[in-house]
Amino acid sequence: MKNAETPVMKVALFGAISSFGSALMAELLRRQHEVIAVVDDLNSLAPRPGLRTKVGNLFSADRVCESIAGCSAVIVLLDAKVLPVGPEHDHAQKDLTPFEQLIATQTVLACLPRMQIQRLILVADIQLMLDQTLPDHQNPNLDQSQASALIVDSLQKSGTQWTLVSAPQGVAGLSIEHFSQTGGTVEPGLAIPLEVLSRVAAGIADELQLNLHVRQYVNFVV
């Protein structure tokens, strides 16, 4: 039963089946928010209260709009290895290239006003050089620093209430079941990552719920 005093959000999450995505899902569901996990495979997540799945594609504006329709906020984990990219992209268990991260960001930013959504949390490995000149945004061979500069420029030029986040990398072996349990033991070597990712997930949930650091960069890497 939902607490009547809790402001319920409906959050679309890209990168949900990564370990950090699992931490975010568990934290948002614990706070009684509704989560739309955007995935390539609808069977990749077991049903649970408050959680829905949609098939999506970060490189198609129409598919992104379908995925985020009716949501109050969107979270994109650009550095997750498992992202919905559509059948024409072979990226199973692989990072998006810096150029693909830029295209995915720009696609999401174009869709948010169309769907009347203001709030975006973008989690990415951002590497910025001081006084860096913006490179050619159509260059498919962008390095991470060049793509980072263009991602930040795209965010700043948008009217979106974005928060750009650097967060710890996830680890293999952690699922939503690990983050949802209230006690018990975990496999050797996973206890510390579980604690760290849980803490960062709570921080990002606070960013959404309290509308913190709007149009700012936040570093959660510890």
Q: What is the pLDDT of residues 73-91, one digit of tens each?
A: 999 999 888 888 876 666 5
Element (H, E) at 164: strand 161-166
Structural domain includes residue 3: no
Structural domain includes residue 99: yes
Gap between the terminal Cα atoms of the chain: 35
List the single range of 70-84, 111-125, 144-158, 170-184 with lowest mean pLDDT. 170-184
Task: State the residue for tokens 């590497």.
Answer: 127
* pLDDT value for 3: 55
User: Domain count of the chain?
Assistant: 1
Structural domain includes residue 146: yes
Structural domain includes residue 29: yes
The pair of three-digit structure tokens given for residue 18, joined into one six-digit string: 């990564």
* pLDDT value for 1: 47
pTM beyond 0.75 = yes
**Could you tell me if 67 and 47 are in contact, meaning their C-beta atoms sit under 8 angstroms apart?**
no
Structural domain includes residue 171: yes
More confident residue, 63 or 79: 63
Structural domain includes residue 5: no
143: containing domain: 10-219
How much is the mean pLDDT over the chain? Answer: 90
The CATH number linked to 115 is 3.40.50.720
Q: Is the pLDDT of residue 215 over 50?
A: yes
pLDDT, tens digit, 9 for 90 and up, residues 84-113: 887 666 655 578 999 999 999 999 999 999
By CB atoms closer than 10 A (0-12, 13-18, 19+), residue 135 is middle
Phi, psi of 44 (to 5 degrees): -75, -15
Structural domain includes residue 136: yes
Structural domain includes residue 54: yes
